Amino acid sequence: MTEIMYNPVSRLASISARLIIGFAVLLGLLFAVAAVPLQRLEDLTARTRDIVDRQAQLVILSQRANQHAQAAAIGLLNLMQTAERDARVPQYAAMDAELAAADMAVAGLEKAMLSPAVRTDIERIADLRQRYGDLFQQTVELIEIEGTAAARRHFEDRTQKVLNTLLFETQALESQLQQAMQAELGELRQITTNARRLVILLATGALVAGIAMAWAIARSIVVPVRKAVAVAERIAGGDYKTAVPPGRGDEIGALLGSLTTMRDSIASREEKISRLAYVDLLTGLPNRTRFLEILGLLPAGSTGAVVMLDINRFAPINNALGHGVGDRLLREFAARLCQVQGEGCTLARLWGDQFVLLLQDVDRTTAALQAERILAALRAPMMVDGQRLDIDASLGIAMYPQAGEDSAALLRRAELAMTRAKRRHEGHAFSNDDESEAAHEELSLIGEMREALARGDFLVHYQPKLHLAQKRIASAEALLRWRHPEKGMIPPGNFIPFAEQTGFIREVTPWVLARVIADAAQWRRDGIAVIASANLSALDLLNRDLVSTVRRLLDESALPPDRLCLEITESALMDDPELALKHLNELAAIGVKLSIDDYGSGQASLAYVKTLPVHELKIDRIFVDGVDTDSKNAAIVRSTILLCRELGLSVVAEGAETPQELAWLGENGCDLVQGYVVARPMPLDDFLARVRAQALPVTG
């Protein structure tokens, strides 16, 4: 895996460095934008101040020269109107002061730094001022020498003309200076305008430069981030193979590197989670969840078969040799299944030693041939830890869509077929086609059984067992019945097998035992000497609370243990013989009678008769049927009766239906008969009435 590492030394390429440089340049431009206008404003302020001060001074000097010249002229006119000399003397000083002030103003103008044209005008004004001064003096002297009349004529003819010219020139100079000042102020306004344009240009340039830098920096950040977001969205959508774009040695590069690491980590975890969710860790096969998912994705109208199988007698092997050997056996079992599963086949492990195969596009014949190939491969001896194990398996086959299109229903029907194959000791069995219509009803009944138990819908019926020698009902088998509030009486075959398969039988059996023991205790108190029998399933026999439950119920009801008989089948002993034998020995030690039901239908019944602490054998109905006419059945039943007599066991013939069968059994020494020829199963009240109506008295 290639990772993009971030080098903190490479600061120039980092985002932080780019941001610092960008902001520094932007601040520099902003400083330049601020500094240039400030400098220009300072220059403009200084020049304006200089222009205003200098031009104002010149205008003032020009105005002063004009004003003082006029004041002197006015003084001269007043002087010419004054007849007495003594009155004229004070006026001379005032006129001299006015003329001196006018001379100082003209001298100030001459000293100013002016243009050549203005300087020429000032020189002309100075010359006029000199001429005016001379003529003014002459006019004054004429007043003293020749009198005011002569002086007035001189003033009007010569002095006033020069004065008017001087005033005109002074006013012209003042106007010229005003125009010059306005011209310079105009230049300053132009400079100000130019400065404003420069500021706008610099500000615009700074703005454009800032925008360009911001766009460049943002693009260098946003584009990789957008790509990273797109990759993250694809990763979030479950695409863990998408390529992460390469990054540079900056923070974005570090982000992309982390994204790559995150993608790989998530992909690894997803793979582990998927494996945990969909793969059986022991065998590496798909698990039940994955198989149901595959089964649910089958296209409509497809055909094939669901094959369920498990190892016969796996529990004894697992318990005897240990779970480690059991696990290795399961792995070897799975490996052999993989070798023979064939094309288009999906193999999965459901749980324990139970496996399932999905065969697509096969018919019934092909499915049967595939089942036989699988059995042949599995029956070959296995070597586990240097020990040879000979194993066998049972297969159940459900064809779809004949057996149903629902995944759960197909598995259920395949499991029922497997159970039937195991019970019949056949290699494989098909689910019955006529069960398809009832599948949904049966499955719904399973969900209703717990409610039925709580509501009290279950009943116990009793089927009498006739003691042939005593001609009386000596015992009765308790049989469970279900009275549904809507469907009426439901046949036992429609719910008891499912109660056993789902484990619900463990909740039903304690209820049945409590009811049967209570009834038997009441019979005893009423003087009815009838032994009550109840059935135990394989799950009941392996229940660790079985013995304590039976002991508690017997103690609570004060029923002697020998007034209770518990019936077991050979199949109930197969899953865990050691634990089953332990429980049977404990029950026998209490004093409870034990009976082997369906004797003769199994393969090892004689071995069980030898080792089990039983008191009674019930011959299976397949041998009792037609015993009076079928010589083979007669031989089997006769030999079984002799065997029981030698072993000290009672023998019950189950399923007798005709008087001829009943007579034959009596003639050949059978102890008890149970079947329709005696009575059908009946409610408790009918059973008690039947017992009380016996011809022979009841004792005990």
User: What would the pLDDT profile of 260-312 be if each residue is shown by its tens digit?
Assistant: 777 777 767 776 666 667 788 888 899 988 898 888 888 888 889 999 998 88
What is the average per-residue pLDDT within 386-414? 84
Tell whether omega for the bond before 613 is within 30 degrees of 0, i.e. cis: no
Q: How many Å separate Cα 300 from the centre of its chain?
A: 31
Predicted confidence band of residue 236 (pLDDT cuts 50, 70, 90): confident
At CA 321, angle to CA 428 and CA 501, rounded to 5?
Answer: 40
The token duo for 156 is 């009007």
d(CA 312, CA 603): 14
- Determine phi and psi for 630, rounding to 5 degrees: -95, 110
State the pLDDT at residue 548: 94
Contact 382, 394 (CB under 8 A): no
CB-based contacts of 629: which residues, under 8 Å, 6+ apart?
660
User: Comparing C-alpha atoms, which of 265, 308, 233 is closest to residue 501?
Assistant: 308
> Which among 34-48, 100-114, 126-140 has the top mean pLDDT?
126-140
State the pLDDT at residue 6: 42
Cite the beta strand spans of 520-660 per DSSP E. Answer: 531-535, 564-569, 593-599, 616-619, 650-654
Lowest mean pLDDT among 292-296, 456-460, 546-550: 292-296
In the predicted structure, residue 45 carries a pLDDT above the cut 80: no
- For the beta carbon of residue 591, count every other beta carbon within 10 angstroms: 12
User: Comparing C-alpha atoms, which of 544, 483, 550, 475 is closest to residue 510?
Assistant: 550
Residue 302 three-state SS: coil
User: Comparing C-alpha atoms, which of 431, 421, 373 is closest to residue 399?
Assistant: 431
User: Comparing C-alpha atoms, which of 369, 451, 468 is closest to residue 667?
Assistant: 468
What is the average per-residue pLDDT within 182-193? 77
d(CA 687, CA 33): 117
Predicted confidence band of residue 31 (pLDDT cuts 50, 70, 90): confident
What distances in angstroms separate CA 692 from CA 275, 527, 530, 533, 695, one per listed residue?
A: 67, 10, 11, 19, 9
Predicted confidence band of residue 55 (pLDDT cuts 50, 70, 90): low
What is the average per-residue pLDDT within 201-218? 77
The DSSP-derived string for 519-546 is HHHHHHHTT---EEEEE--HHHHT-TTH
DSSP letter assigned to residue 273: H
d(CA 422, CA 552): 35
* Cβ-based burial of 78 (10 A; exposed 0-12, middle 13-18, buried ≥19): middle
Q: What confidence tens digit (pLDDT) does each residue in 576-604 have?
A: 778 888 999 999 999 999 998 878 665 44
Predicted confidence band of residue 465 (pLDDT cuts 50, 70, 90): very high
d(CA 501, CA 420): 12
User: Comparing C-alpha atoms, which of 183, 377, 409 is closest to residue 292?
Assistant: 409
Tracing tokens 């089948």 back to the chain, one arrives at: 569
In the predicted structure, residue 110 carries a pLDDT above the cut 80: no
593-599/382-384 β-pairing: unpaired
At CA 413, angle to CA 409 and CA 414, rounded to 5?
Answer: 115
Predicted confidence band of residue 667 (pLDDT cuts 50, 70, 90): very high
The token duo for 410 is 């197909």
State the pLDDT at residue 607: 66
Percent of the chain at pLDDT exceeding 90: 26
Strand partners, 533: 477, 565
Say which residue, 403 or 668, is predicted with more confidence: 668
Contact 594, 616 (CB under 8 A): yes
Say how many CA atoms lie within 13 Å of 227 toward its Cβ. Answer: 17
Predicted confidence band of residue 83 (pLDDT cuts 50, 70, 90): low
Say which residue, 374 or 277, is predicted with more confidence: 374
State the pLDDT at residue 407: 82
Percent of the chain at pLDDT exceeding 70: 83
State the pLDDT at residue 51: 65
> Which among 64-78, 356-370, 663-677 has the top mean pLDDT?
663-677
Q: What confidence tens digit (pLDDT) does each residue in 150-185 have?
A: 877 887 888 778 778 877 877 787 777 777 777 777
Answer yes or no: same fold for 288-431 and 441-692. Answer: no
Predicted confidence band of residue 7 (pLDDT cuts 50, 70, 90): very low
What is the average per-residue pLDDT within 457-484? 94
User: Comparing C-alpha atoms, which of 654, 656, 646, 634 is closest to residue 610?
Assistant: 646
In the predicted structure, residue 700 carries a pLDDT above the cut 50: no
Tracing tokens 């020269």 back to the chain, one arrives at: 65
- Kindly report the average pLDDT of the chain as a whole number: 80
CA 625, 629, 635, 639 dihedral sign is positive
Q: How many Å separate Cα 613 from the centre of its chain?
A: 58
State the pLDDT at residue 637: 93
State the pLDDT at residue 249: 60
Strand partners, 359: 305, 345
N residues, the chain: 700
State the pLDDT at residue 104: 82
CATH class of 288-431: alpha beta
d(CA 698, CA 700): 7
Lowest mean pLDDT among 88-92, 347-351, 461-465: 88-92
CATH architecture of 441-692: Alpha-Beta Barrel (3.20)
Say which residue, 139 or 84, is predicted with more confidence: 139
State the pLDDT at residue 516: 96
State the pLDDT at residue 652: 95
What is the average per-residue pLDDT within 70-86? 73
Q: How many Å separate Cα 49 from the centre of its chain?
A: 78
In the predicted structure, residue 245 carries a pLDDT above the cut 80: no
What is the average per-residue pLDDT within 323-348? 84
State the pLDDT at residue 47: 67
* Cβ-based burial of 31 (10 A; exposed 0-12, middle 13-18, buried ≥19): exposed
Contact 615, 597 (CB under 8 A): no
Q: What confidence tens digit (pLDDT) does each residue in 612-656 have?
A: 899 999 998 889 999 999 999 999 999 999 999 998 999 999 999
What is the average per-residue pLDDT within 652-665? 93
User: Comparing C-alpha atoms, which of 677, 514, 445, 475 is closest to residue 593?
Assistant: 475
The domains of the chain are located at 15-223, 288-431, 441-692
- Determine phi and psi for 40, rounding to 5 degrees: -65, -40
Predicted confidence band of residue 326 (pLDDT cuts 50, 70, 90): confident
Predicted confidence band of residue 494 (pLDDT cuts 50, 70, 90): confident
The token duo for 425 is 């000791």
Say which residue, 495 or 177, is predicted with more confidence: 495
Structure pTM? 0.47
At CA 137, angle to CA 134 and CA 139, rounded to 5?
Answer: 110
CB-based contacts of 325: which residues, under 8 Å, 6+ apart?
317, 318, 384, 385, 387
